[in-house]
């Protein structure tokens, strides 16, 4: 049975006064977590080590998530999605990342950066045509914003789109660091990509960014290169995408001209929440591994968990893990998908969680010593994976800037 058919038997909104666990605010959220965790243990965990080691993306495994309804977790049911909330999105990302953050990142790029973006920003024709394909896994999606010379500085993007006499758009430029940009070792491009491009300037002389849906097979769309030898997240494919006089139909413009920043603001918030949830999964797994190891390992005729130095690593990691968990699921509970206005906490939760996950993974390696330093014991891989979360989806420096800016605008937020 489809996992979400079971979950949807209940209401994924806990009633007032019934919340006992902020990370599982309803029985249905707890069911979702249990089912995803069981699936991860059966199908994700056995392949995680080898796919990281050989820098292979498990495309078939990602497609199979469509059978469970997870690829369109936040998309409307009428277009093949599950129509679930931000808490459900966080749960799935946490559970995937406790086993294989690289695979979870590929899932995030598809389910959040493409599917959720289209579900909340596309028009009805675009959603009716494309959402069923990406929700089922027939198509794998990606989002292309970063470029070789522009990342956080979105107004510095140089990829351009010029409308032709027949109404089509001609795209030119290169996008860099695109998760799911290529699907295999032969350079097969993503089936569909959410692309941000310059379409001119507005009446005030500001850069005008617009959004396009580029599909495999459109002339001029190709993979420039698959990027190898990444520090972490090696189980997801990262690529450079090339748009060389790429012709895009007029109906593939999303929204109106110059509306990309609106799309970004709405979607960046859930992206940062789910990236934080990935950090939580990493932190939880590392804490579990070091805690069990500290019981099994003895030194000087004592379990190493009896030594104060080890207790500091485990104790501090527990506090960070619980703080991450509370902040992430509090933010999720207050986030309405498709609506901007949660930047202060979506930035704050990713800022805190990404660094906390790296610190917990580092402590796990220290507790486990030589065993923690080799891939067989997982924490070394999780430590490498955690670093990307301080960079991707917004650098920690950009989060610090945004938080200070928002607190200047709304100083009363501190005392709410």
What would the two tokens of residue 268 be? Answer: 């960046």
- Rounded to 5°, angle at Cα 151 from 147 and 155: 90
The SS3 call for residue 215 is strand
Measuring CA to CA, how many Å separate 385 from each of 173, 236, 292, 391?
29, 11, 21, 11
For residue 37, the tally of other CB atoms under 10 A from its CB is 17
* Residue 192 CA from chain centroid, whole number: 17
Q: Which of 280, 295, 276 is nearest to 349 (CA)?
A: 276
Residue 142: beta bridge partners?
193
Q: Which of 375, 345, 18 is nearest to 232 (CA)?
A: 375
Q: Which residue is it, tokens 């027949």?
A: 166
Q: Which of 361, 364, 359, 367 is nearest to 310 (CA)?
A: 367
281, 104 contact by CB (below 8 A): yes
Largest CA distance in the chain: 81
- Rounded to 5°, angle at Cα 150 from 145 and 154: 60
User: Which position among 147, 215, 271, 380 bears the catalytic label?
Assistant: 271
Q: Which of 63, 42, 260 is nearest to 144 (CA)?
A: 260
The SS3 call for residue 336 is coil
Q: Residue 235 and residue 402: Cα distance in Å, rounded?
A: 31
Q: Which of 15, 251, 36, 42 is nearest to 127 (CA)?
A: 251
Q: Which of 273, 269, 279, 264 is nearest to 144 (CA)?
A: 264
For CA atoms 343, 174, 279, 366, the dihedral sign is negative
50 is catalytic: no
Catalytically annotated residues: 271
């Amino acid at each position: 049975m489809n996992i979400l058919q079971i979950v949807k038997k209940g209401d994924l909104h806990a009633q007032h006064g019934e919340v006992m666990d902020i990370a599982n605010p309803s029985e249905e959220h707890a069911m979702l977590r249990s089912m995803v965790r069981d699936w991860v243990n059966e199908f994700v965990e056995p392949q995680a080590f080898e796919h990281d080691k050989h820098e292979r993306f498990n495309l078939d495994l990602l497609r199979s998530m469509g059978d469970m309804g997870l690829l369109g977790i936040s998309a409307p049911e009428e277009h093949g999605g599950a129509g679930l909330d931000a808490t459900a999105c966080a749960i799935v990302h946490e559970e995937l990342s406790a086993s294989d953050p690289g695979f979870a990142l590929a899932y995030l790029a598809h389910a959040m950066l493409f599917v959720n973006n289209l579900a909340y920003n596309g028009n009805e024709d675009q959603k009716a045509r494309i959402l069923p394909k990406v929700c089922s896994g027939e198509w794998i999606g990606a989002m292309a914003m970063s470029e070789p010379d522009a990342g956080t500085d979105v107004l510095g993007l140089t990829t351009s789109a010029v409308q032709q006499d027949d109404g089509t758009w001609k795209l030119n430029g290169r996008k860099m660091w695109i998760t799911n940009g290529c699907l295999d070792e032969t350079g097969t491009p993503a089936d569909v990509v959410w692309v941000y491009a310059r379409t001119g300037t507005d009446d005030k002389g500001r850069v005008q960014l617009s959004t396009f849906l580029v599909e495999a097979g459109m002339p001029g769309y190709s993979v420039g290169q698959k990027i190898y030898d990444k520090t972490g997240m090696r189980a997801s494919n990262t690529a450079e995408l090339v748009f060389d006089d790429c012709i895009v139909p007029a109906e593939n413009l999303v929204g109106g001209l110059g509306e990309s920043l609106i799309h970004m603001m709405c979607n960046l918030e859930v992206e940062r929440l789910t990236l934080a949830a990935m950090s939580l999964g990493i932190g939880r797994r590392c804490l579990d591994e070091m805690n069990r190891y500290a019981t099994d390992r003895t030194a000087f005729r004592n379990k190493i968990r009896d030594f104060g130095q080890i207790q500091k690593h485990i104790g501090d990691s527990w506090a960070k893990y619980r703080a991450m968990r509370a902040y992430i699921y509090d933010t999720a509970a207050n986030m309405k998908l498709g609506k901007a206005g949660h930047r202060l906490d979506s930035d704050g939760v990713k800022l805190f969680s990404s660094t906390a996950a790296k610190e917990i993974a580092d402590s796990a390696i220290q507790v486990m010593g030589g065993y923690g330093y080799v891939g067989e014991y997982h924490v070394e891989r999780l430590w490498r994976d955690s670093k990307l979360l301080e960079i991707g989806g917004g650098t920690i420096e950009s989060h610090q800037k945004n938080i200070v800016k928002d607190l200047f605008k709304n100083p009363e937020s501190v005392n709410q």
